[in-house]
Chain A
């Protein structure tokens, strides 16, 4: 019985981790006042780059590095376009989301001469932490996971502390809250916005790498399947308090994991596949209602 419960916890963590990295990227963007809906496309690019990187370097960690760097580069489109050239970040994000979908499918054909999915023999996935297998409680949860899973929580806490305790973190928060005030005190607002978006790209690259080399070892077209959008929902849910992100993402992870379970006991796949999105919708509506109620009358 306990094994079943712990394996469910493991499944929740596995499902939540890519969303968590992407949501952290979105939260950092939100802190500098950029509403980042490019997470889906960046994560998809990250997944492709991770598989391609692992294939060419022969090392899964090589794949992670390629994903991290190339997705940061991919995010430069959004970063420079919105912060430097003052274009609408929503429009650019929609463009880059479409670009990622089309470009990954195109490169799949050009580079690997396949369509749909790419999983060559010998493709290195990320190693699991099998050495933990014998540790009670921890073992069943983490032994089958990659290092990127616990790392996600470390990164979130580190970013939270950095935002709170360092001058740069303080300035970054101020940029999002009141850009004119920040600028009037000598803070380079576009520069903060640009770098926050680029770092967010790197995090989305890790999200994609975990998805394509950790959760599974394959790249399939549009394999992010809306996880980037769920991350956007998580960002809106926690409304600028990044330390609440793990809770929100674990909730979405639980919904996905629960979907798999229900499928296992015979629930129709279409229904269980829809579970995370349905839950996202319900949660957003509920928080919106709560927000509207708690809000003071403003006319």
Chain B
């Protein structure tokens, strides 16, 4: 059976490199893929889109031999194949760049590239040939790299190039990129897209797995959208719009939530003064000062690992700042315990939901209680009940919050680990916002959360702001910051390198500062002012290093 719909899309008879026909896969009662057809034309860039849990990863895992389909057929160059493992897939000409890199940090770029398929001379690794091979591939595809560099010392973008080189070294003709831009700066994204185009023009078939609409529109030739394990849309990219893609992904239109920018900020609620974290010679956070007022959302942008997380930890108190002052509602809290700081009015949505934000094996109700177990109505601070919790009050409160925050769960006694990312995050947010703490630190609050839940979480943050709350919002998604923040700070290498008001902020200017450009120069031209996702349709970012 061929796939007539794909032929209709492309309108040309170019031979498919890969065909997935009627692929089905279930895990217990959960149907991950149901009759999925996917045709990848040779030399094209094909985007596979969908929300978290839509079945993209399962589908790609089957294509790469990591999982076996329950039903359906995979054909490479027209011939049916059975992959018993990724090695079979590699042998058939596939290569996959995983979202979480699979690299050996202690080894050189060249060793990483040739590992498992080493050129040898007299039984020893021929390191000269390995380096030459890396240089040849990097020149052919425009993947700038240094063969003798140790991988652990490289930036995320450079590490990704090593991953791509690994696949190319094994003569991959079909390259699967799983969420490749998650860890990249905007300028690194631009160069990745250049590489993708170049590879496709050279005849490589590229599969781009992503949920970012503007990337799909910027680089792909064709799009297949999955929802609940089924194909809900096939487009030639030239005919797709962000609205049509969103509709295919979510089955409805999304009203984007935006900060209205109204209201005047009140008194300073959180003040960080000259805070340094870590060894003063190589600090993770270097002399950072900032203030967040009541009724204000201050965004912190930056590529992951530039000190944002350590800054949050220092404010929360899980790590001690080596110098500087932290004031909460005018009170110095720099040397207080986490418990004292929370009692003084601090709420936190941690980045690591499963590790820090929730106790995965405990119930939803217990997770709602965590941190508030000493105070009424669940605990009691004095009297006979001191040291005891009221399970009845806990459950009642949990039921109330589940209804209020629209948490999809089978009940308050369900373990929180069984909930989807978005629903678990709603529980965390309910816990943090329902106690009237005036200061909130939200670190990556919508990471791993699907589009519908993102909308509701954003609305909660704006409601909290409107109610006079002060929010420090750390995010790697520029579009999220542009939609929500009154001011945006950019961290690079542990320092705050730029600050923008909502009016000044653009993707291009934030991106330039994120990449460490000495100063994010003003962007007078309208072209630089890119509207935030998901309704944007930007061309690749303007070259950041061209700015004066």
Contacts and interface: CB of A to CB of B under 8 A. Distances in A.
Interface of A: 165-167, 170-171, 173-174, 177-178, 180-182, 184-187, 296-297, 299
Consensus secondary structure, chain A interface: helix
Which 5 A-B pairs rank lowest in CB-CB distance, beginning with the nearest? A185-B116, A181-B102, A297-B278, A299-B313, A167-B118
A166 B279 contact: no
B86 A184 contact: yes
Contacts of A184: 86, 102
Contacts of B313: 299
A186 B105 contact: no
Contacts of B3: none
Given A184-B102, A297-B284, 18 more contacts: A166-B123, A166-B125, A171-B115, A173-B106, A173-B107, A174-B115, A177-B105, A178-B103, A178-B104, A178-B105, A182-B115, A185-B115, A186-B116, A187-B115, A187-B116, A296-B279, A297-B319, A299-B309
Interface in B357-413: none
Interface in B302-336: 309-310, 313, 318-319
A187 B118 CA distance: 12
A165 B121 CA distance: 10
Contacts of B115: 170-171, 174, 182, 185, 187
A187 B106 CA distance: 18
A50 B115 CA distance: 39
B392 to A, nearest CB: 37
B14 interface: no
Contacts of B166: 185
B277 interface: yes
A170 to B, nearest CB: 6
Given A170-B125, A297-B279, A177 B106 contact: yes
B111 interface: yes
A186 B87 contact: yes
Nearest to A161: B124
Given A181-B103, A296-B278, A166 B124 contact: yes
A297 B307 CA distance: 10
25 contacts: A165-B125, A166-B124, A166-B125, A167-B120, A167-B125, A170-B107, A170-B111, A170-B118, A173-B104, A173-B106, A174-B104, A174-B115, A174-B116, A178-B102, A178-B105, A181-B102, A186-B86, A186-B90, A186-B117, A187-B116, A296-B282, A297-B277, A297-B278, A299-B309, A299-B318
Interface in B279-311: 279, 282, 284, 309-310
Nearest to A240: B106
B241 to A, nearest CB: 37
A299 B278 CA distance: 10
B335 to A, nearest CB: 17
Interface string B96-131: 000000111111000100011110100111000000
Contacts of B87: 186
A223 to B, nearest CB: 38
A61 B125 CA distance: 35
A101 B309 CA distance: 50
A241 to B, nearest CB: 10
Interface string B121-153: 001110000000000000000000000000000
A299 B111 CA distance: 31
A184 to B, nearest CB: 6
A187 B319 CA distance: 40
A48 to B, nearest CB: 37
Nearest to A185: B116
Contacts of A173: 104, 106-107
A173 B102 CA distance: 14
Given A186-B116, A187-B116, A297 B310 contact: yes
Nearest to A183: B86
A119 B310 CA distance: 63
A241 B103 CA distance: 19
A174 B111 CA distance: 10
A166 B124 CA distance: 4
A185 B85 CA distance: 11
Contacts of B310: 297, 299
Contacts of A166: 123-125
A192 to B, nearest CB: 12
B125 A299 contact: no
A173 B90 CA distance: 22
A165 B107 contact: no
B134 to A, nearest CB: 15
A178 B151 CA distance: 13
Contacts of A177: 104-107
A296 B111 contact: no
A185 B102 CA distance: 10
B83 to A, nearest CB: 13
A166 B118 CA distance: 9
A166 to B, nearest CB: 6
A185 B313 CA distance: 37
A185 B107 CA distance: 15
